[in-house]
Structures are given as structure tokens and as C-alpha cells.
Amino acid sequence: MALVPCQVLRAAILLSYCSILCNYKAIDMPAHQTYGGSWKFLTFIDLVIQAVFFGICVLTDLSSLLTRGNDSQEQERQLKKLISLRDWVMAVLAFPVGVFVVTMFWSIYIYDRELVYPKLLDNFIPAWLNHGMHTTVLPFVLIEMRTTHHQYPSRSCGLAAVCTFAVGYILWVCWIHHVTGVWVYPLLEHLSPGVKIIFFAAVTVIINVFYLVGEVLNSYIWDTQK
């Protein structure tokens, strides 16, 4: 795919995430007024991650166009740093967290939506916004992977970063329950303490598996020998 269409595509995706975030924050939901606000939901954190990631992508595209034909070594060095940051965010956050949110949300939703997205939320969140938060994330990140080669970090460093994010969010959820006495997700209300530990461990494993899937998929798509 040509460079200019890719730039336009990334800019359009970035604008769509900005629109989704603005519309979501404009909703007057009781959950937004409680401890942690929107930041207690992984969906919202993922939206911010995706918006920041595609913002970096757009900035990288602009910098690449501006430095094209320029012999400045300093500008070239800064561009390489920006590309490295873009690739790291894609590998460690945008892909594994985005795929995790989409697959986990719809898997639980199909089983019993009340465990993750109670029907009451339909009165606040329109269907298009729900899909913007929980569906389009997957095709957007796959499009980005298909249009741009991303250099993954070493597997040990990548998995360590993913584990740090997963454990950090789990601790955040537990802290919110400690402060408010209410679990962020209704599903956790139905699990015994022992099962919660197993559930949290499984979640950490799954998000690490998605990191590996992204690494393999990126290598398969951009295998120069193929």
C-alpha cells in the first residue's frame, strides 16, 4: 500500500478514536462519577492507548515526509527514536491490549452480557459507540500491522512489559474494590477469592499469548523471504 494512502488511513483512524473518546466522556453515566472514573475500565484505557498509538503513527508519518531528502543526521536520529517508540507501543500495548479487550468482551457478552455490559448501559451508550469501543479496535490494529512493518523488542523484554501492564491493571481493580467495596466488573462479584486468583492469572497468560500472536503475525506478514 502506498505511503500517502497509509498516512490518510492512520489520520482517519486517529480522528475516529478522538470522536469515540469525546462522545464517551460526554455521556453522563453514574459510573463516571465514582472512584476511579473512566480510568477503572480497561475499555477506556485501551481507547486512550489506541488514540496515543495512532497519534504517534501520524506524527511519525509527518516527520518522515518532512525529513525526506534531508541530510540532517540529527533529524534522522530523532525520526528513528519516534519509529522505535511507535513499534514498542504497537507490540506491547496497542495490539495485545486491543485484541484482548475485543475478544474478552464479546466472549463474555455472548455468554451473559450482564457479567460485563449490563443491559442498563444501553440507555447511556448507543450501539455505534459500543462497537467503536469493543469492535473496530481489532480491524484497525490489524490494518496498521498489515500496512507497516513494526520492529518487536526482544521477547523477554516484550513479555515483561506486557506482564507489568496486566498486573498493574489487576492491582488497580483490586484497589478500587478495597476502597469502594464494589468490583469494577460484575463478573468478579460471582467468583470466590480462589477463583479470582485463577481468573487473574489466566487473564495475564491470555494477554501474553496475544503478544506472541502479534509477534508471529507481524513476522509472517513481513517475512522478506516470502
1, part of any domain: no
Check: CB of residue 47 under 8 Å from CB of residue 17.
yes
**DSSP string for residues in 139-167:** HHHHHHHHHS------HHHHHHHHHHHHH
CA distance 60 to 66: 10
143, part of any domain: yes
What is the enclosing helix (H) or strand (E) of 86? helix 73-89
pLDDT, tens digit only, all 226 positions of the chain: 444 578 899 999 999 999 999 999 888 888 788 898 999 999 999 999 999 999 999 999 988 887 776 767 777 888 899 999 999 999 999 999 999 999 999 999 999 988 888 888 888 889 999 999 999 999 999 999 999 999 999 999 999 999 999 999 999 999 999 999 999 998 899 889 999 999 999 999 999 999 999 999 999 998 854 5
HSE toward the beta carbon, residue 202, CA cutoff 13 A: 7
Total tally of structural domains belonging to the chain: 1
189, part of any domain: yes
149, part of any domain: yes
**DSSP string for residues in 100-120:** HHHHHHHHHHHHHGGGTS-GG
98, part of any domain: yes
Residues in the chain: 226
CA distance 108 to 115: 7
Check: CB of residue 10 under 8 Å from CB of residue 64.
no
182, part of any domain: yes
| Full domain range(s) for residue 55 | 6-28+35-224
* CA distance to 9, 19, 34, 52, 81, per residue, from 5 (Å): 6, 21, 42, 20, 23
In a 3-state reduction of DSSP, which class is residue 223?
A: coil
- Find all residues with CB under 8 Å of 75, minimum gap 6, and list them: 63, 66, 67
Q: What is the pLDDT of residues 115-155, one digit of tens each?
A: 888 888 888 889 999 999 999 999 999 999 999 999 999 99
First to last CA, the chain: 17
